[in-house]
């Protein structure tokens, strides 16, 4: 399985070969991975720390995936409450220029440059 290592040494797995991280805007992957890892690690969810989509796939109209500004993370093994809390924690770490959405099947994280 492919992996990505952030600028601070945090490693995340990529779901499969279809996940395009090469066309993600500079800095986005590192910020997302570094912000999300503490929430996954604290819950012992190392196996669920997986990028399921970046600059690839089909997404909702208005999604920033096509602009290389969004990343989806797997949430397998989390209860509904844990998943919501993880999304909240990531949002707190990233700040107001980011949108973190609990999508039930994944956590969607995007950078809004405007």
CA 91-89-17 angle, to 5 degrees, is: 75
> Can you tell me the distance from the alpha carbon of 90 to that of 20, in angstroms, rounded to the nearest whole number?
22
How many domains, in total, are found in the chain?
Answer: 1
pLDDT, position 40: 97
Average pLDDT over all residues of the chain: 94
Instruction: Give the pair of three-digit tokens for residue 73.
Output: 């993370």
Q: Does the pLDDT value for residue 60 go beyond 90?
A: no
pLDDT, position 1: 80
Q: What is the dihedral of CA 56, 62, 67, 69, to 10 degrees?
A: -90
Instruction: Give the pair of three-digit tokens for residue 39.
Output: 């929430």
Q: How confident is the model at residue 19 (pLDDT cuts 50, 70, 90)?
A: very high
Q: Which CATH number do you get for residue 15?
A: 3.30.1380.10
Please give the model's pTM, rounded to 2 decimal places. 0.94
Domain enclosing residue 59, as ranges: 3-111
Pairing of β 11-14 and β 3-5: antiparallel
């Amino acid at each position: 399985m492919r992996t990505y290592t952030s600028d601070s040494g945090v490693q995340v797995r990529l779901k499969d070969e279809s996940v395009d991280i090469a066309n993600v805007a500079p800095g986005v992957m590192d910020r997302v991975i570094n912000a999300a890892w503490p929430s996954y690690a604290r819950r012992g969810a190392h196996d669920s720390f997986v990028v399921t989509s970046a600059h690839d796939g089909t997404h909702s109209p208005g999604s920033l995936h096509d602009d290389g500004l969004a990343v989806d993370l797997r949430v397998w093994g989390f209860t509904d409450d844990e998943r919501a809390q993880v999304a909240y924690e990531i949002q707190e770490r990233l700040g107001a220029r980011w949108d973190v959405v609990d999508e039930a099947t994944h956590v969607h994280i995007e950078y809004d440059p405007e």
